[in-house]
Amino acid sequence: MRFSDITDFFVNNLTRVIYTAVVIVLVIIVLLVVKVVMNNVVKRNKKNVKRIATISKLVQSMVKYVVVIIAIISLLGIWGINIMPLVAGAGIAGLIIGLGAQDLIKDFLGGINIVFENYFDIGDLVEINGFTGNVTEIGLKTTRLVNWKGELKIFANGQINTVLNYSRFPSVGVVEVDVAYKENLEKVIKILREELESFHESYPQIIEGPNVLGVMNLGESGITLRVTVKTEPVQHYAIERALRKRIKEILDINKIEIPFNQVVVHNANSNKL
């Protein structure tokens, strides 16, 4: 194709080219305006931020699909492509297209259902079909999760069958520690309760506790004690680590023995000596 052919094309279709550019610019402007407006709505709502952010993402996704479809129809009209035969032929191809669009419609309905039934919001830690991660995006068609390794998993909304949401209710941290059989259990439990009474002051994530529940198991090497703590949703992991460290310090200071596995070896010939 010669350069003159390209020039002639633009000269002969100048009006259509201008209208095409206007449509594209309008699409970009509309999407940007919707994005800015929804982001401002999220920022202004200090309460239920995750919920508002979730609805905002869904609205942006819906607007994007609607605007793009309208733009495509407009561009076809601008370039003189008669869409009526396509509409008329929809009856013939409708069955084929319908079968192919079933999953798409299922995904759309699934996305709307997820948001309005409030299964989860952006930022929630959830488990979907066996994969655990934080929700980073909820669209009309897909939901995206990122786990603690940074791995991204994309789910078609219509394929989301089971959901565990770890972010809706307080979490419970559980720490178990073994002490030697020779130790005075009442004394050990009393020391732990007294020393852990102020533990929550350093961790605002704690809602209740720590609570020293008592003996949970009589093991081979020692007696297992359990300590629990109630925290804000999904905050128990860090608190458990800090609590283990603090319990170890308390036991060391009070010279309370933490047992380790021991193996007693008997020499069968020792009695013959």
- Which of the listed CATH numbers 3.40.250.10, 3.40.50.2300, 3.30.70.100, 1.20.140.10 matches domain 171-253? 3.30.70.100
Q: Is the peptide bond before 210 cis (omega within 30 degrees of 0)?
A: yes
* Gyration radius of the chain's alpha carbons: 32
Cβ pair 51, 118 in contact under 8 A? yes
Tell me the pLDDT tens digit for each residue of 124-182: 899 998 899 999 988 888 899 999 899 999 999 888 888 899 888 899 999 999 999 99
Tell me the pLDDT tens digit for each residue of 4-17: 666 666 667 778 88
DSSP string across 128-147: ETTEEEEEEEE-SSEEEEE-
**DSSP 3-state of 262:** coil
Cβ pair 37, 60 in contact under 8 A? no
* CA nearest neighbour of 135 among 232, 63, 59, 58: 58
**DSSP 3-state of 61:** helix
User: Could you state, in order of their start, the residue ranges of all structural domains in the chain?
Assistant: 3-88, 171-253
Output the six-digit token pair for 143. 């939901």
* The pLDDT of residue 152: 93
Q: Could you give the CA distance from residue 92 to residue 216 in angstroms, rounded to a whole number?
A: 70
Q: Could you give the CA distance from residue 56 to residue 123 in angstroms, rounded to a whole number?
A: 13
Region of residue 224 (phi > 0: left; psi between -120 and 50: alpha; otherwise: beta): beta
Diameter of the chain by CA atoms? 115
Tell me the pLDDT tens digit for each residue of 61-83: 778 878 888 888 888 877 777 66
Overall pTM surpassing 0.85 (yes/no): no
